[in-house]
Structure 1
Amino acid sequence: MSRCDECGKQENMPYQCRHCGGTFCAEHRLPENHGCPGLDNWSDPGGVFDSGFDDSVDDDAGGGIRDRLGIDTGPGGPLGYFRGNMTYVFLGAMWITFLLQHVVLLGISQDLHQALFVLRPSHPEYVWTWFTSIFAHAPGSLAHIGINSIVIYFFGRIVEDYVGSRDFTLLFLGSGALAGLGQVGFQILQNGGIPAFAPGVLGASGAALAVMGVLTVLNPNLRVYLYFILPVPLWLLTVGYTGWTVFQILSVGIGAGGTAQLAHLLGLGIGLLYGQHVKGRRRVPNQLQFGAGGRGPGGPGGPGGRGPF
C-alpha cells in the first residue's frame, strides 16, 4: 500500500510520475491533476521533456554545448539512452571494472593493477586513478561492490530524476574523486610528505554516500528498509552512519577496519551540501517501493519504461 502525495489516499497499485517522482492514485496520476512542476517544461522547443542531461534543450537560440559539438542526446540519438539512465551506466561500469581488475591481477601483475585502478598517496599524480578508483573495488570482495551497488541502485535513481542526468554525473564523479583525494591527502599530511608505502583508495562508497546525503536533505523522512526488513527514516540512517564513522576515525584512525573512513565522511558531506543547494526544485517520493513495476532501463531515449521505484 502506498499513499497518494496529492490527496493522501491509500493505493494498492500506485502510479509514479516520471517527471516529478511523486506517487499518486488513479485520480491524480496525470501531471495536470497533481500540479506537476514538469508542466512548465512541456514547451520544450525540441519536443522533449528535459531530463537535465543537456543544457541546450531549453536553449531557443540553439547555441548549447550539444549543438556546438554536434552531439545528439535526444530520443533516437546515439546518446539518447544515457538521458535518465546514468545510474545504470555507472553500475555497469563498476561491474565491468571489477571484472577487468581480476583479469589484470590474474593475467598480468599486481603492480599494473595498482597503477590502473588504485588512488595511492605515493602516486597522486596518476590523474586517471582519481576516477578509475571510483569504479574499482576490493578484488574478491563481493560485499564491497555489492553494498555500493544497492545504495546507488535505489538512491541513485531518485536523485538522478531530481537533479537530471548531467548534474547527477558531475555529482557522482566529483564526489567520488574528491572523497578519494581527501583520504590520500590526509595520509600525505600525516606522514609529512608522500609515503613510499601506504594503503590506497578504491571503491564507489564516497560517491554512493554523496547520493545518500543528497536524498537525506531532499526527503529526510523517506522510509528505507534496513537489511530489507527494518523500516527506518533516512535521516536516522544517515545520522547513525555518520556517528559511527566519526567514532571510528577518532578512536582508530581514517583507515579504521581497512576502510577509507575519511573518504566516506567527505562523500556524505559533499552530498549534504549539494542537497541543500538543489533542495526545493520539485517533490520527491516518500518511500522506496521494491518489487515489480520498477523503472526499466530505457528512459526518454531508450527502450524501457518508468514505473514505481
Structure 2
Amino acid sequence: MATCDVCGEYENLPYQCKRCGKTFCAEHRLPENHDCPGLAEWDDPGGVFDSGFDESVEGNDGGGARGGGGRTVRTGSAGGVIDRVKRRIDRETSTGGFVSFFRNNATYAILAAIWATFVAQLIVFWGISPTLHNTLFVLRPDALGNVWTVVTSVLSHSPVSLYHIIGNSVVILFFGPLVERAVGSKKFVAFFFASGIIAGLGHILFAIATSAPLAGILGASGAGFAILGVLTVWRPNMQVLLFFVIPMKIKYLTWGIALVSAVLVVRSLLAGGGGAAGGIAHLAHLIGFAIGLGFGKRNEGLARSAGGGGGVSMGSARGPRGPGGPGGRF
C-alpha cells in the first residue's frame, strides 16, 4: 500500500505523476495540487516538453528568432542561460526536486547534517586542533558562552569512534520517519533539536549543581531517545529487532534501557559523578526519553499516523571515550 507524498495518507489506488515521478492520492493527483515541476515550464517558450538542450538551435543568429506566433525566442544569449538556470531552480525546489526531497523528509536532512558535521569534526580534530574542535562542537559547562555549541553538539559525535554516530544514526533512520510522518516535517525538526538541546543542557546543569567533575557533552542520543519515547507511548507493542535478531516490543526495549540508564546514573552520583558512566551521558538519555514520553502523551491523537514497524539494532557498542571526557558523548 503506497502513501501520498504530499499528505502521507495511505492510498489503495495510488496515482504516479509521469512528470515528477511522485506518488499521490486522488486529492493531490493533479499537477496543480502537488506543485508539479512541470507547471514551472507551462508558459515557457519551449513548452512543457522542453528537452533542456541549448536553445540556440531554435534560431540562426545570436540575438534570437521570431516564432510563428510573433513571439521572440531567445537563443544563445545570456538571457537564455538565465532562463535555463531559473527553470532548473524551479525543478529542484518543486515537489519532485532534489531540494524538495529533503524538505519533505526532514529525517534524512538531519542525518545528512549529522554526517556532514562529522566530516567537519574529523578535519578539525585530526587536521587542526582538538582544542578548536571542542570549542566548535562540544557543549562544555566551563564554556557556556560558546552558545553555538548548544546546537552543534546535538549534531556532533565522537571523532575517535564510529560506534557513537552509527548507533544514533540507526535509531534516527528507522524511527524518525514514523514520528515525522505523524507530526509533519517542520514540527519534527523543532522537536528533534529541542529535545537534544534540553537533554544536553540538563545534563550539564545537573553536573554543575552537584559539583560533579566538569566534562563536555556531544551527540544526538538525547533526541534519539526522545523519538523512542514518543513511539513508546504511541505504539508500545510495535515489534523491533534487538541487534537485528531478537524480536521484542518497543516498550520493553525502551523501558529496559531507561532502567539501566537510571541505575548507572545513581551509581555515578554515589561515586561523585554527574550522571555519566563509561563515557556515556546516561542522564541525557533519561531526559530525552522523558521529553519523548511527555510529547507522545500530549499528542496521542497523532498516534494512528505513526504506522509501521521495523527491525533495528539497539545495542550500545562502546568505543573509545570522546573528547569531552567521562561525560563526553550521549
**TM-score normalised over the length of structure 2:** 0.66
**1:43/1:278 CA distance change after superposition, 3 Å:** farther
Alignment identity in percent?
Answer: 41
What CA distance in whole angstroms lies between the structure 1 residues aligned with 2:116 and 2:194?
A: 20
1:115 aligns with 2:131: no
* Aligned counterpart, 1:213: 229
Q: Tell whether the 8 Å contact from 2:237 to 2:250 is kept in structure 1 after alignment.
A: yes
What CA distance in whole angstroms lies between the structure 1 residues aligned with 2:144 and 2:97?
A: 38
**1:286/1:142 CA distance change after superposition, 3 Å:** same
* Aligned counterpart, 1:251: 267
1:1-309 alignment runs, 5 A limit: 15-18=1-4, 19=7, 29-30=12-13, 47-48=33-34, 75=95, 79-191=99-211, 198-253=214-269, 254-281=275-302, 282-288=304-310
**1:236/1:157 CA distance change after superposition, 3 Å:** same
* Aligned counterpart, 1:58: none
Q: Tell whether the 8 Å contact from 1:91 to 1:153 is kept in structure 2 after alignment.
A: yes
Q: Tell whether the 8 Å contact from 2:107 to 2:177 is kept in structure 1 after alignment.
A: yes
Q: Tell whether the 8 Å contact from 1:179 to 1:263 is kept in structure 2 after alignment.
A: yes
Which aligned runs of 4 or more in structure 1 are off by greater than 4 angstroms?
18-22, 38-44, 76-79
Select the structure of larger CA radius of gyration: 2
* Greater relative CO, 1 or 2 (CA 8 Å, sep 6+): 1
What CA distance in whole angstroms lies between the structure 2 residues aligned with 1:107 and 1:208?
A: 29
**TM-score normalised over the length of structure 1:** 0.70
Q: Number of matched residues?
A: 240
* CA-CA distance at 1:285 after TM superposition: 2.4
Matched residue of 1:252: which SS?
helix
* CA-CA distance at 1:286 after TM superposition: 4.8
**1:29/1:76 CA distance change after superposition, 3 Å:** closer
Deviations 1:84-112 (A, max 9, x none): 21111111111111111111112211111
What CA distance in whole angstroms lies between the structure 2 residues aligned with 1:182 and 1:284?
A: 28
Q: Which runs of 5+ in 2 are unaligned?
A: 15-23, 36-91, 270-274, 313-330
* Aligned counterpart, 2:54: none
Q: Tell whether the 8 Å contact from 1:219 to 1:286 is kept in structure 2 after alignment.
A: no
- Which amino acid letter does the alignment assign opposite residue 33 of structure 2? G
- Which amino acid letter does the alignment assign opposite residue 154 of structure 2? I
